[in-house]
Chains A and B, each alone.
Chain A
């Protein structure tokens, strides 16, 4: 059976898994962005805090995702929970780092000017600094989303969701008729989803980054 036949015959299941994969990654990226930006805002004014947060982020990024899963399964059990925790944790890191870099990169002259026209500290943060840091934050989310696409495949090991389960069941059925097609459909599906999502991020950045801030 060719890959094309395989995909069309099992379209119902594959499209559902693809949808779960995409929606899981997007939801975890958004969750990670909310937490990550909050952490970034909390530490960016302190050089030591920024250094520690950035260092911790990079250190956690070096942790193999399968090993993190091995730590999570005994604690939170199987299913969606370990996947969501792992994905959100990994998704946090590029966002935290980019939020710090973006906020620290805002020209002091601009924030001084904002203060000078009578804006409050929260006003400066929400209406000047965060807007100028938005391109960096968005890039962090984009990097996170791409990374999570691949990590979500591994997370399917703990009875998680998405196209990873296709790869795993292709592997367990190695040697049988459609095992290669199944793994191939899962892997290519992830690549296609990753490219699509990346395109969406390009679109969002076009729509939300003001001309003056874009370079």
Chain B
């Protein structure tokens, strides 16, 4: 997860960036290869096991295809809604905060976002629910947007700030407007970092979506909770494995996006 790597202050921040070509990119390639295989094997094994084993009436009630598909659908919907909202808010905000006129606001926003992320995800969801009384999708989506905003915001800002000053000057020198330089020089060069932040946000969103059932938002966490309350281990296993499989899949998709959506020549 890149957010953690980006969070290293001091020494390892620089060394982590410098080491990137060796250890990290090797392991990234390795993950992009073995992660989808792991997902398919694990999920297939559990589904086959769940379908072939003798289930009692209680287990049948939760472990049937329509219920699982509904919960899976809710889980995916939460992930998508949160990710889209995060991109829609964090990228423009990040761009705005790197413009000369608003630069002074950047530390304020980053400090707020940092404290927001220090708060426990579950606490944020529960507090929002108790305070607003909203239930369901939005009771999860709104607090999670605040919770996952930081990686994309920070990566957008860092991505734009790290663009070589001379490239911007060159752009201005050949007669491009400030907006033109932003759209055609700064943003394309920042895309790899923005995508890395997006991958982190996706993983945070799909992970915290397992907590959605606490505020009646559904999702795969509900299977785990049902299994826990009714003491049905099979239900817990299926819920947990599906949630893990989905998280690994989403992370893999994020990794593929990082790899294929970055403009050629701007790879990190």
Contact = CB atoms under 8 A, between A and B. Distances in A.
A171 B128 CA distance: 11
B122 A98 contact: no
A62 B214 contact: no
Given A51-B26, A183-B126, A183-B130, A71 B237 contact: yes
The 9 A-B pairs at the shortest CB distance, nearest first, are namely A187-B123, A70-B240, A70-B224, A64-B207, A54-B27, A67-B243, A150-B120, A55-B27, A74-B233
Interface string A53-87: 01100110111111111110110000000000000
B72 to A, nearest CB: 13
Which applies to chain A's interface (DSSP): helix, strand, loop or mixed? helix
Interface in B208-241: 208-211, 214, 220-221, 224, 227-228, 233, 236-237, 239-241
Interface in A184-215: 184, 186-187, 190-191, 194-195, 205, 213-215
A143 B10 CA distance: 13
Interface residues of B, number: 62
B115 interface: yes
Residue of A63, A100, A194 with most partner-chain B CB within 10 A: A63
A61 B12 contact: no
Contacts of B208: 64
A69 to B, nearest CB: 7
Nearest to A135: B11
A190 B240 CA distance: 26
Contact of A58 (B9, B31, B121, B206): B31
A107 to B, nearest CB: 11
Contacts of B221: 64, 66-67
Interface of A: 47, 50-52, 54-55, 58-59, 61-71, 73-74, 94, 97-98, 100-102, 104-105, 135-136, 139-140, 143, 146-147, 149-150, 153-154, 157, 164, 167, 170-171, 174, 179-180, 183-184, 186-187, 190-191, 194-195, 205, 213-215
Given A59-B248, A135-B11, A51 B121 contact: no
Contacts of B206: 64
Contact of A64 (B11, B14, B127, B247): B247
Interface of B: 1, 4-5, 7-12, 14-16, 18-19, 22-24, 26-28, 30-31, 34-35, 38, 115, 118-124, 126-127, 129-131, 203, 206-211, 214, 220-221, 224, 227-228, 233, 236-237, 239-241, 243-244, 247-248, 251
Contact of B10 (A104, A135, A164, A194): A135
B122 A105 contact: no
Contact of B27 (A58, A65, A71): A58
Contact of B11 (A97, A139, A149, A150): A139
A154 B120 CA distance: 8
B117 to A, nearest CB: 9
Contacts of B4: 61, 94, 143, 147
Nearest to A174: B130
Nearest to B207: A64
B34 A170 contact: no
A150 B121 contact: yes
A198 to B, nearest CB: 8
Contacts of B124: 187
